[in-house]
Structure 1
Amino acid sequence: MRKKILFPAFFLIAAAIVYRLSSFSPELVSFSGPTMGTTYTVKFYTTEQVSNPWDLKEDVDDVLIKVNKLMSTYDPTSELSEFNKLPAGQSADISKDMAYVVDRALLISEMTSGEYDVTVGPLVNLWGFGPGKREDKVPSQASIDEAKERVGYEYLTLSDQRLAKEKDIYVDLSSIAKGYGVDEVARVLRNKGIESYLVEVGGEISSQGVKPDGSPWKIAIESPAGGHSMAERILSLDDVAVATSGDYRNYFEKNGVRYSHTINPVTGKPITHRLVSVTVIDKTTTMADGLATAITVLGPERGLAFAQDNGISAYLLVKTDFGFEELYSDAFKSYLK
């Protein structure tokens, strides 16, 4: 289980430019930058409460730096990395931010009976999709079995802001931290009086409000066949969060076999089914992010059933011999109009 999409899984319909209307009209402001091994883009319409909208870029950068400093496995001094260094049987006080994200990740781990597992880190690292030099090699079964011994969300306990480990486990929040980053940026905008915005980090998106002409924000679900130049579906958004999980960008090939960055904690190996993209719409990008990864691990049939059983708004693209098949839950149908 791993999601580190280096390029957004969605492209924004509106171009990244700034429109200045009259002094009494809302102004569309857009800025972007690097974060979490990918990029972010923020678009919003100003209100009378915002005196200098460009000052918000510094606030956005600060909050994304904070999230990365707390939850990155690539930073050996992050709060998460310091916890992972603790031996079995130890615990630590953690930030409110990380406690919230770990709590959400543990919830999804329980919902999937461990097929999404927040402690999948040892397997992610073994397959070369974690911190350190990537070697693109297939590990031995003995190495996989050894890494699986260090995986198990049931050995991780969260009590308020106290996190404890019963075994020498390694927590990896890469499948959910970007979503939390989006939620935090959106919170900054709302606190500054922004009523209409669209925030995107590595393909995870949060939106609120409508444009001055009353039209909704729109995004396109990227086609795995055409990349950023081809849209599979176009969605109209209003006060929702969207996340995608896909295995068609981050992988390696060895002896003609393709190995996805998405690891199944139960098998200890990359997924092998034909589900190539999952889009989830939820109230928070944090949950949408984690749930999209969970459904990707489960695969097309069980993933769709999981979404149906839990009332999750999910859209799945499955590779066939002749292209891609669309699958979607009942909760997603209203977004297909």
Structure 2
Amino acid sequence: MGTYYRVTMVLDPALQKDVDHTDTQLQTEIDKKLELVNDQMSTYRPDSELSRFNKAQASLTVSPETAYVVQASLTLFEQSQGAFDVTVGPLVNLWGFGPDKKPTKVPSTEVIQSRQKFVGSQYLSIRGNTLYKTIPELYVDLSSIAKGYGVDVVAEYLQEIGINNYLVDIGGELRAKGKKPGNKQWTLAIERPSAGQNVQRLIQVGDNSIATSGDYRNYYEYDGIRYSHTIDPKTGKPINHKLVSVTVIHESSMMADALATAITVLGPEDGFVFAEKNNLAVFLIVKQGDEFVEHVSAEFKPYLIEEK
């Protein structure tokens, strides 16, 4: 996944003595599970299920896990009216944010339009565990949802082996359950989207997941113009609105991850309307001049720690 993972857990005295719950044994099992996710859904591994589907002309039967993540992607594509689209990879690569290198010049309108012909989840479907595409060039990239899915895989494994107090973190996608030692809640921070590691707000998410999407880390500048890594499938270009950070709390890390991306593409107004319509716990940071303005959905407010 091109990033780190960190698992913090609290073991009761009985589990601390169990040979199956040593740090070494737990890390071995977690590594195996994350390796499997990569073997299924990585675009960087040429023999992964997803890479083999991308090379296929029309269809490929995949694991139930890959089918599950693709189905969730298609559902959100419909719900977001195309804002969340896992086939946007050719455009991401064109703008220099995928496996390809940074472009030496801004793509022309003609080049963008030629790539857009091969983008659109309406060309992707699933029946059982078989993925189908109606155009051979269709390229699926699950990087905006699979990392969150990986968090869920690790969290659910911990619960299976009796660990019910944990914090799983894969590249900033987090899922928490239970309490820290001393019966204290896990306290997390929303980063302020400016220079330095400043805290915008502190939150306690309970037994939930949290994901943040923003353009303040992954971007480049060309001829004095800043280009975000988030591509709007409808325009074929990087987003250029003033929504700089989206934080979503959801019981599923996979959905928190994907929803944060969808709302980022939708922008500050449409994104907030989408969040409220779907009763989502969402925290937006919008740049207005030199200031950062917060927009908080009603569902998100209970998780905020009020400053004293």
TM-score for the superposition, normalised by structure 1 = 0.86
1:70 aligns with 2:50: no
Q: Deviations over 1:120-141 (max 9, x none)?
A: 1111111111113333531111
Tell me what 2:11 maps to: 46
Q: Deviations over 1:176-197 (max 9, x none)?
A: 1100010001011111110100
User: Does the 8 Å CA contact 2:94/2:103 hold for their aligned counterparts?
Assistant: no
Q: How does 1:115-130 map to 2 (within 5 A)?
A: 115-130=83-98
Instruction: Indicate the percent of aligned positions where both proteins have the same amino acid.
Output: 51
Q: Which has the higher contact order (CA 8 A, sep 6+)?
A: 1
Tell me what 2:184 maps to: 215
Tell me what 1:191 maps to: 160
* Structure 1 residue 198, shift from structure 2 partner: 0.1
- The answer to which of 314-323 and 143-152 deviates more is 314-323
Higher strand share: 1
1:97 partner amino acid:
E
Listed as ranges, the gaps of 5+ residues in structure 1 are: 1-35
Q: Deviations over 1:232-253 (max 9, x none)?
A: 0111132101011011111111
SS at match of 1:238: coil
Query: Structure 2 CA distance, aligned partners of 1:117 and 1:302?
Result: 16
1:43 partner amino acid:
T
Q: How does 1:277-288 map to 2 (within 5 A)?
A: 277-288=245-256
* Structure 1 residue 166, shift from structure 2 partner: 0.6
User: Does the 8 Å CA contact 1:155/1:166 hold for their aligned counterparts?
Assistant: yes
Q: How does 1:131-146 map to 2 (within 5 A)?
A: 131-135=99-103, 137-146=105-114
Q: Deviations over 1:142-161 (max 9, x none)?
A: 11001110011111111121
User: Which of 275, 281, 284 pairs up with 1:313?
Assistant: 281
Tell me what 1:25 maps to: none
Listed as ranges, the gaps of 5+ residues in structure 2 are: none
Higher helix share: 2
Query: Structure 1 CA distance, aligned partners of 2:195 and 2:31?
Result: 31
1:49 partner amino acid:
L
1:81 aligns with 2:51: yes
Query: Structure 1 CA distance, aligned partners of 2:128 and 2:201?
Result: 41
1:254 aligns with 2:254: no
2:145 partner amino acid:
I
2:297 partner amino acid:
S
1:100 partner amino acid:
Y
TM-score for the superposition, normalised by structure 2 = 0.94
User: Does the 8 Å CA contact 1:223/1:231 hold for their aligned counterparts?
Assistant: yes
Q: Deviations over 1:275-334 (max 9, x none)?
A: 111000001000000000000000001100000001111000111213200011111111
* Structure 1 residue 96, shift from structure 2 partner: 1.1
Query: Structure 2 CA distance, aligned partners of 1:333 and 1:133?
Result: 41
SS at match of 1:49: helix
Compute the RMSD of aligned alpha carbons: 1.2
User: Does the 8 Å CA contact 1:112/1:294 hold for their aligned counterparts?
Assistant: yes
- Distance verdict in 2 for CA 1:85–1:111, change over 3 Å: same
User: Does the 8 Å CA contact 2:205/2:249 hold for their aligned counterparts?
Assistant: no
